[in-house]
Amino acid sequence: MAYHKRGGNRKKKNRQVQGDEVIRVPLPDRSKGQLFGVIEQALGSGWMDVRCEDGKIRRCRIPGKLKRRMWMRVGDVVIVQPWPVQTDERGDIVYRYTRTQVDWLLRRGKISQDFISGGELLF
């Protein structure tokens, strides 16, 4: 009796190759304008104030796909996709990093501890 597997191999799906190194953590797609961000304040109804790596605070919404799957808290590191219309003011949260993924980003130098704590900008 045949059955259908759902989802496939998730380990292969989440991997990216950069040179010889295999990256298991999704990074912001700069061609789409995505940025790193840290959640500053929860506003309710799926909206958050997020401090982005370019120094701007954007009011971002959590799409229903992420809202139903995971919790977002103040201090979480996320990927932000700015809106095409109000680029400097609004955006969508695309991905939330786990604690181990944030540690990996810190070790690789993708983000700095000052950026997470709110001290200074990423670059």
Distances (CA, A) of 5 to 2, 8, 9, 10, 69: 10, 7, 10, 12, 20
Predicted local confidence at residue 76, as pLDDT: 93
* Residue among 32, 29, 48 nearest 40 (CA): 48
| Residue-wise pLDDT tens digits, 38-74 | 999 999 889 999 999 999 999 999 988 777 788 889 9
Higher pLDDT, 70 or 8: 70
- Look at the alpha carbons of 84, 88, 90, 93 in this order and tell me if their dihedral is positive or negative: positive
Residue partners of 12: CB distance under 8 A and separation at least 6: none
